[in-house]
C-alpha cells in the first residue's frame, strides 16, 4: 500500500466539477485499507499527538465559508490499534487528544475517497510549522522498517496540505505512477525506497 501525498485544498474543493470524481476513482483503484493515518499540516501540536481513537464530531478548522461546509459529517470509526502502532514508531512520546475530531486536511479528501466513512481513521499532528522539519518527520516515519511493514499490511498514510508543498525537491522520496486511473489534480503518489 503506498503512502498517498495529497494537496487537499479548502473545503470548497468538494464542489469542484472534477476533483471529487478523480479522487473517488483513484481510491477505488487502490487496495482497500484496513485503517488510515492522516498527517495534516493543519494540526500543529507539540508534543506530537493523535486525534480521538473513537468516533467524534469533525473539527472545523476554518471560518468564513457558507454554512453547508460546517454541516459536513464523516463518522469514521477511530483506530486505537493504529494509534498504538504510531506511538511505538515514535518512541512512545505521542499524546492522545481524546475529543479531537478530524480536521479538513483529513475529512475533505476522505469524504470523496471513502464516502461510507467505514475505514478506521486517526490523524497525527506535526510538532512544528517549519516545512523542512515537517517533511523530515514524515520521512522518518516512512523510512522506519516497522512502518514499511505496517504499510504493507494494507494500511494507508495520507500526508496532506502544505505539509507536501515542494515535496518533489526532497531527495529521500521517489515518485511512482498513480494507479492506472491516472493522476489526480494536485496529487502525487510516492513510495519510500
Tell me, what's the pLDDT at 138? Answer: 63
Spatial distance between the Cα atoms of 120 and 112, rounded to a whole number of angstroms: 15
Q: What is the residue-level pLDDT of the chain in tens, covering all 193 positions? A: 667 777 676 788 889 999 899 889 989 988 899 899 888 777 877 778 889 899 999 999 888 999 999 999 999 999 998 888 888 877 777 888 889 999 988 899 999 999 999 999 999 887 776 666 666 666 666 666 665 665 555 567 777 765 444 444 443 433 333 333 334 344 344 333 2
Spatial distance between the Cα atoms of 182 and 161, rounded to a whole number of angstroms: 20
Tell me, what's the pLDDT at 112? Answer: 93
Domain boundaries, the chain: 3-191
For domain 3-191, the CATH architecture is 3-Layer(aba) Sandwich (3.40)
Amino acid at each position: 500500500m503506498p503512502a498517498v501525498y495529497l494537496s487537499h485544498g479548502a473545503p470548497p474543493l468538494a464542489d469542484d466539477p472534477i476533483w471529487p470524481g478523480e479522487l473517488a476513482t483513484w481510491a477505488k483503484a487502490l487496495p482497500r485499507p484496513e485503517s488510515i493515518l492522516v498527517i495534516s499540516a493543519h494540526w500543529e501540536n507539540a508534543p506530537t499527538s493523535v486525534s480521538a481513537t473513537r468516533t467524534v464530531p469533525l473539527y472545523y478548522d476554518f471560518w468564513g465559508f457558507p454554512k453547508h461546509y460546517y454541516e459536513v459529517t464523516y463518522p469514521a470509526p477511530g483506530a486505537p490499534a493504529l494509534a498504538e502502532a504510531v506511538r511505538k514508531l515514535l518512541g512512545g512520546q505521542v499524546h492522545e487528544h481524546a475529543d479531537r475530531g478530524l480536521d479538513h486536511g483529513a475529512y475533505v479528501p476522505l469524504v470523496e475517497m471513502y464516502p461510507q466513512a467505514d475505514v478506521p481513521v486517526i490523524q497525527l499532528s506535526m510538532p512544528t510549522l517549519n516545512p523542512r522539519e515537517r517533511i523530515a518527520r514524515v520521512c522518518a516515519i516512512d523510512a522506519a522498517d516497522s512502518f514499511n511493514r505496517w504499510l504493507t499490511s494494507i494500511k494507508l498514510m495520507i500526508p496532506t496540505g502544505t505539509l507536501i508543498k515542494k515535496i518533489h525537491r526532497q531527495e529521500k522520496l521517489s515518485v511512482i505512477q498513480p494507479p492506472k486511473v491516472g493522476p489526480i489534480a494536485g496529487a502525487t503518489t510516492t513510495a519510500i525506497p
